Each structure stands twice: as C-alpha cells, then as structure tokens.
Amino acid sequence: MQKVYADMPGRLPAIDRIHLHIKRGEIFGIIGHSGAGKSTLLRCVNLLERPTSGTIRIDGEEMMRLDAKQLQAKRRKIGMIFQHFNLLSSATVAENVAFPLKLSGMGQAKIQARIQELLELVGLLEHASKYPNQLSGGQKQRVGIARALANHPDILLCDEATSALDPQTTNAILALLLDINHKLGITILLITHEMQVIRAICDRVAVMENGLIVETGNVLDVFLKPQHAVTKDFVGQVSDFTAQTSSAHLDVPSNSAAGTLIRITYVGQQTYEPILFEIVKSTTVSFAILQGTISAMKGVPYGQLVVRLTGGQPGDTELVIAKLRQEDIDVEVIAQ
C-alpha cells in the first residue's frame, strides 16, 4: 500500500510498500518518530485517508470497493480513539457516548442501556451527567473509549491515545485497553512513539521510519533482539540493557580478566532457573556476571545477562556455550 499527498514536496510517499497482516483479537502496535507515517497508515485502515495504491481488506472485504453506504456501515464496526479525546464540549459524558448510537438509529431505551453498560466498563458510571471540562485527562480518554465501543466494533484504532496523559494515567488507560481486549476479543491497532506502550500491551509491533516499515515481529523478539537502528533507539527508551553488539559499548570494568564475553537471553520459566550455574559447574570454567536484568512482558518473564567466562580446560568455554544453546537459550558471543 502507498499514500502520496498531492501537495507534498517532490510527491514523496507518506507511506510506501506497506504490507501488514493483523490477526483477529490481537493488539498490534505501530511505533515511529514524528513524521514516520504511522498516523497516515492508521487513517488508511478506515479510509479516512484513501491510499494512492494498494488494497485494504478487513475480514476478507475489500474496503476500497465499498460504496458510500457500505463504507459507512463498515466504519461503525471500526472504533477510533484520539490523542486529544475529540469530545463534544457542550454534551455530557452520557451524551457523548450516545452520539454514535443515535447516528446508527438505535432506540432510546437501548441507547440508555448501552450507555450504562459502557460507562460501567470504563469506570465512569457516576460521572454520566458531567461535562468534559469537569473531567481529568484520563477520564476524558475513558469517555472516548466508551464512545468508540458504542456500536460493538470488531476493531479499535488508537491514535496516540496516551500521549497527552501522565505516566500513571497512561498505565491505567493501557490496563483498560488490555482488559477490553481480553473481555471483548476486540482487535486493537494502536500507534505510538513510546516503546513503553508497546511493551505494556502489544502482541506484535511494526517499526516505521520515513514511511516504511523497517522491522516487524513479536514484541518480545523485537525488544530483545532489535535489528534496525531506529528499533534499538526505541528499545533504549525503556531498557537499561540496550542491544549493543560490541564490548566497547558495554559498561564493564576496564580491568576485567581476559576471557570470553557473552550475552545470554532467557525467556519464560528458564529465566528463574540456575541453568548457567549448573552448566558451568560441570566444567573447569569460571564465570562473572557483569550486567543483568529480569523483567516481564504481558506476563512472560525474560532476562538478559552479560557474562565473562574465564579459565578452564581447552574447549570448556565452547562446551558451556553449546550446552546453553541446547537448553534453547540464546547466546551471543560479544568478545573473545
């Protein structure tokens, strides 16, 4: 897919060569710096921006072939929440949530029941009669989420939905989105410039730069083994353990003993098991842990260690590395 704006200098594509398949029920993140093209890509999904070339299929239906009436009906099944909330300032919380329901022709009794259901879901039932200027930023975004869910959408598009919020409120909104995904099975496509957002709730991620997708994959894989320079930059936002490949970049003592420097990556339950100790003690090798971290992503624990292996009989260091890899542990030799 490609999108070119007629007034862009040199008619350079805002997005180009975009190929994405998003699975039903997953939370998919798109991350990039300002101007990377992520907002354009998101708005192409529901044809708020019409691609210059390419196709968009939702549940096998080609969006660009729909007539105006069909497109309107399809858009009702695609909710959208925005960075700056886009609430009606002269309408109450309940009226803001009711707005898309009235447009769809729902009866008043059903609208009232749906409002109560949605406000209860987002934790705002007691604020139904308030106006947006009486709400905090997090509460406004909860109204936006309730409104986006009004017509039982299959897909929820999130356009920098937490960028205007403080960190504590951001975490609360992300927890709400994760809860909605679990309870309703709704597919969530979000864009952000914050790796913490991706790390907190996304299953897979695409990294954008200059209108192109430069890297994509499962969040844990991309986080632990970023390939592109811009991905490494984003990972560095939330990790004290950046994926540098040279010993010169590692914060290790200059007087460290000679030996083999390796990076070990654990994923899952093996993170908490003494695998390295058990393997090393069966050899004459000694080891020192120079750096290390343990964390979790969507309930999956992971850890990384930088270890210096020293001493031992000839071949023992290679044996340790081989045995670690036999345990399905990723081992990278940084320096020898």
What are the extents of the domains in the chain?
A: 9-238, 247-335
- pLDDT, position 250: 55
Q: Which helix (H) or strand (E) holds 90?
A: none
Band of residue 245 on the pLDDT scale cut at 50, 70, 90: very low
- pLDDT, position 10: 64
Query: Over the stretch 94-106, which tens digit does the pLDDT of each residue have?
Result: 999 999 999 888 9
- Judged against a pLDDT cut of 50, whether residue 133 lies above it is answered with yes
* Radius of gyration for the alpha carbons in the chain, expressed in angstroms and rounded: 24
Average pLDDT over residues 199-209: 95
Tokens of 176: 């709400």
Angle between helices 93-103 and 108-121 (to 10 degrees): 130
- pLDDT, position 246: 44
Could you tell me where the beta strands, DSSP code E, fall in the chain? 27-32, 57-58, 61-62, 78-82, 155-159, 187-192, 204-209, 212-218, 260-267, 286-297, 300-310, 330-335
- Write down the mean pLDDT value for the chain: 90
- pLDDT, position 252: 56
Average pLDDT over residues 178-187: 95
- Judged against a pLDDT cut of 80, whether residue 48 lies above it is answered with yes
Whole-angstrom Cα distance, residue 335 to residue 260? Answer: 6
Tokens of 183: 């309870």
Average pLDDT over residues 115-120: 96
CATH fold of 9-238: Rossmann fold (3.40.50)
Look-up of token digits 């913490």: 196
Say which residue, 10 or 171, is predicted with more confidence: 171
- pLDDT, position 237: 79
Name the CATH superfamily housing domain 247-335. Answer: ACT domain (3.30.70.260)
Tokens of 59: 């549940």
Least confident of 10-19, 40-49, 85-94: 10-19
- Judged against a pLDDT cut of 90, whether residue 333 lies above it is answered with yes
Whole-angstrom Cα distance, residue 95 to residue 80? Answer: 17
